Amino acid sequence: MLGVIIGTILGDTIRSVISSNTNSILKNSLSEIVKNFENTEKRLINHDLQKAVARSFYLAQNSICIECIAKEKDCIEAIKWLDNTIKDNKSILLNIKQNNYSFFPVDNVEDIKSLLLYGKIDLNYINEINKKAKFEYCNSKFYNETVDKSFFIKLCGFFSYEIKNNQIVNNIYQSQILTDLDKKINIILTQKASEAVVLLPELKTIESEIIKGNKNYEQIIEALFCICDEIINIGKYTNEIKYTTQEIMEHLKRNDNYITGRPYYHHRKLMSNSIYSPTTKGELTRLQIQSHNSKYSDENAINIVLSNMKNKQNLNVLDIGCAYGFVGQSRFSENIYSNIIGIDKDKDCIAYANENYANEKYSYFQIDITDETFNESIENIKIKKNIKEFDIVFIALVLHHLREDFSLKLLRNIRNHLSREGVIIIRSSDDGSKLSYNDDGLLDKIISLTEKTKGVSDRFNGRKLYSYLFNSGYNDIKIKSFMRDTTNINYDQLQHLFNESFSWRLNNIIKNINNDPENQENIKNYDEMVELLNLFINKFHEKNFWYCEYDYIGIAKKLP
């Protein structure tokens, strides 16, 4: 019966969130949860919920006993009673996995929420829970009074930990928080501006509750961002509402501890492909520097591939995202390569490559890798160049510009064009691997500001290469990393290292300003980024400063 009650309540709760017009993210992310909770045949909902609470209860009770043992000191009888209670509880904990055990009824969603947001809980509710942890006949004079003082807090703590490993309870909590958000934000959106201002403290309370009570659920944060965006974009409300919501977003994005102890951008996913363009002013020069700096990494990866190839003659290579062509021309210049096919969506880059590098060996074609006709286009090239299959596919700094679903689709499509012994080589970067010493916090500020910029690429893509390759059906996956740093390099090399990794960070901000000249936030970001970059480049030439970064390269075979 409990599973039916919970399923019904959650179905109604989540449906109320989904049916609102607050944002589309909630609709997509919660629709599957509704199906799960409305399926009353899934008794696992009941069992898992009971077990999670029961485990938390007995762990909290044991924690109280351990505390009391230290207080009892020389009272042998009390210590013996406490030890026996702990042993009994351990035995119960071992049996919980097999039994459908519940130490007190969880009648509705509010009970679950109470265990996680205990800052505004009815004292009577806490007393009822504490009663269940007490013993009428107790040999420890400290036990029951300790229960009154700290049992419920311990119970909440253990249950907060429990939620990390229990998707069912996780979903319950998320649905409740999202419902609270939806109700309170919709009040703001439907009231007159003068009335809505009164509710601004509520908005901040919601934010603080999320940060305090939920440190692992990116979905809720994404939902709050989306809601705040809507308030900002409504336009008909007062500046106070607009600026308050902007402050909340700023706080969430910059607070290093609100989710997992690391900034939000470390686990961010692209909502759309980046707006990067290789033909932006100065980008050709930067890409040439980048090509030079990453040559060692690429050549090491290629040598690893060749050392494991039986056939090392007449190899066909597909260079995806070839840009101006000089990277592929540099990496695959040996006579063992018969055809190097470079593709890129930018027509100016392809024109440059054809003008400077095209010959019988090197060919370049304009192809959008996200287009539905991608496979057909590759087949046409293979026919034109009399290529049966590709032996090597080379992808350098491309995937971080794509949404995850596009990246996976590309990798799966490409696998079909590899020979049986074919190998894929992917080079990527990761701002999380950039380290510096004595930088006055400039590096973190630059990375944080980059992530705030609309249209930016996935700056934490390097860590995802293994997952991408595994989920796309590749085998014998290897991830290699190659470090570059400021040790023992000259002035020009320091400048090049900085320009490769940081000069481009202004480009998207400039594009955003050009697209929306009246947006003061873009102008503010531009001024801030200019200042940060100027200060950081000076650091590169100080004796006590050190900086490093890594190239990440994934290597994988089509077949085992």
Tens digit of each residue's pLDDT (9 = 90 or more) over 76-131: 888 889 989 999 888 888 887 666 554 544 444 455 555 554 444 567 777 888 88
Strand-strand pairing, 546-557 and 418-428: antiparallel
Q: Lowest-pLDDT range, 59-63, 445-449, 529-533?
A: 59-63
Confidence of residue 234 (pLDDT cuts 50, 70, 90): very low
Q: What's residue 134's pLDDT?
A: 87
Contacts of residue 372, defined as CB under 8 A and 6 or more positions apart, other chains included, come to: none
483 pLDDT above the threshold of 90: yes
> CA 192 to CA 203: how far, in whole Å?
16
Report which of residues 306 and 26 the model is more confident about.
Answer: 306
Task: Report the range out of 215-229, 447-461, 475-489, 507-521 with the highest average pLDDT.
Answer: 475-489
> 37, 11 in Cβ contact below 8 A?
yes
> Residues 139-160: what's their mean pLDDT?
82
Q: What's residue 36's pLDDT?
A: 40
289 pLDDT above the threshold of 90: yes
Question: Quick one: which of 132, 124, 80 has its CA closest to 103?
Answer: 132
Q: What's residue 1's pLDDT?
A: 29
How much of the chain, in percent, has pLDDT values that exceed 90?
A: 46
**pTM for the full predicted model:** 0.58
> Residues 212-234: what's their mean pLDDT?
48
Q: Lowest-pLDDT range, 147-151, 378-382, 445-449, 506-510?
A: 147-151
Task: Report the range out of 186-190, 230-234, 402-406, 409-413 with the highest average pLDDT.
Answer: 409-413
44 pLDDT above the threshold of 80: no
Burial (CB count within 10 angstroms: exposed 0-12, middle 13-18, buried 19+), residue 114: buried
For residue 476, give the 3-state DSSP assignment: strand
> 281, 253 in Cβ contact below 8 A?
no
Report which of residues 157 and 550 the model is more confident about.
Answer: 550
> Residues 187-196: what's their mean pLDDT?
47
Tokens of 395: 């992808």
Report which of residues 149 and 407 the model is more confident about.
Answer: 407
Tokens of 41: 């045949």
> Residues 152-165: what's their mean pLDDT?
72
Report which of residues 477 and 63 the model is more confident about.
Answer: 477
368 pLDDT above the threshold of 90: yes
